[in-house]
Chain A
């Protein structure tokens, strides 16, 4: 039987290759519609990456919002607007752009590889056990404490996967409406503002009033 860590590694590199390959197609493809399809593939790869990183709620949100909504928005935008034959030409200064992108990549990669990251291995067994094997929240108000599901002996806690929340969805729900409730409400306001702004921008600026032409016709003989 294949080990879980091997499967995780294979899934991680597969999803990474899918994401980056489709992303390369997006930025090199001349046909905008094909670029839009490749973009959906890239988003799907990112969604799989979230699942591999044990962020299943974010993964589901990614698939719903990006693969579902934004990709179809892109496709509709391409069909509405773009003359597909004209396509998306590469512009003149693209070598400078490539150089800038490589510099950004080098800077981030240097930082990532040269930083001594603290890891999940450093947390205590009890905490790791609660994180990896599920937990229940007991009590209300200031009396809240965490107890592991089926918790028996803190010394016997096994840490199988280096700190993976088994069920992060309910914890995220509490997080969003407790610690980040202001940001949560502001996001709602922002989406309404974006909706109204989009409608305002996209509406016909000059709704040709038929009344004017009618009155002109009437006045013409006079």
Chain B
């Protein structure tokens, strides 16, 4: 398990999600694919945090709490991305539901206007 392996897995997950976003007709599946892309990005952030040391750790200076925490920046990024993705998913489904009620369809080609 090297950083290249993990980044490759992350890139493949991102690419699968990207394919899903442009290739499916139902808005729900498009949102699912978006979530897959989010996950690919978060895997990359955690992999960087795990495998590459921060500049504070490489400097050789005496260890401080700040330097230790700088090694965990990727984890903080991951948590923030997950929080934003959760809010985004809730809003996206509210939008899809509003569209379904307005037009009885959630085909992506029917989603040309927001006003009903």
Contact = CB atoms under 8 A, between A and B. Distances in A.
Interface string B78-112: 11101111111111011111101100001011000
Contact of A69 (B21, B50, B79, B86): B86
A27 B24 contact: yes
A2 to B, nearest CB: 15
A131 B19 contact: no
Interface string A178-222: 111001000100110111011101100100000000000000000
A78 B32 CA distance: 11
What's the interface size class on A, roughly?
35 or more
Contact of A27 (B4, B20, B80): B20
Contacts of A179: 66, 69, 76
Given A145-B64, A201-B94, A81 B106 contact: yes
B35 A100 contact: no
Contacts of A193: 87
Given A145-B63, A171-B69, A88 B28 contact: yes
A57 B42 CA distance: 13
B46 A202 contact: no
A70 B35 contact: yes
Contacts of B43: 46, 49-50
Contacts of A70: 35, 85-86, 89
A146 B62 CA distance: 9
Chain A interface helix/strand/loop/mixed = helix
A84 to B, nearest CB: 11
Interface in B43-64: 43, 46-47, 49-53, 57-58, 60, 62-64
What's the interface size class on B, roughly?
35 or more
Interface in A95-147: 96-98, 100-102, 104-105, 108-109, 112-113, 117-120, 122-124, 126-127, 130-131, 135, 137, 144-146
Contact of B8 (A65, A100, A109): A109
Given A179-B76, A187-B80, 9 more contacts: A58-B75, A66-B35, A81-B100, A88-B25, A90-B25, A94-B19, A102-B15, A135-B63, A164-B50
Interface of B: 1, 3-26, 28-29, 31-33, 35-36, 39, 42-43, 46-47, 49-53, 57-58, 60, 62-69, 71-76, 78-80, 82-91, 93-98, 100-101, 106, 108-109, 116
16 contacts: A8-B1, A43-B39, A58-B42, A58-B46, A61-B78, A61-B82, A88-B26, A88-B28, A89-B25, A90-B25, A91-B25, A119-B3, A119-B53, A175-B75, A187-B83, A201-B98
Interface of A: 8-9, 12, 16, 19-20, 23-24, 26-27, 32, 35-36, 39, 42-43, 46, 49-50, 52-55, 57-58, 61-62, 65-66, 69-70, 73-74, 77-78, 80-82, 86-91, 93-94, 96-98, 100-102, 104-105, 108-109, 112-113, 117-120, 122-124, 126-127, 130-131, 135, 137, 144-146, 163-165, 168, 171-172, 174-176, 178-180, 183, 187, 190-191, 193-195, 197-199, 201-202, 205
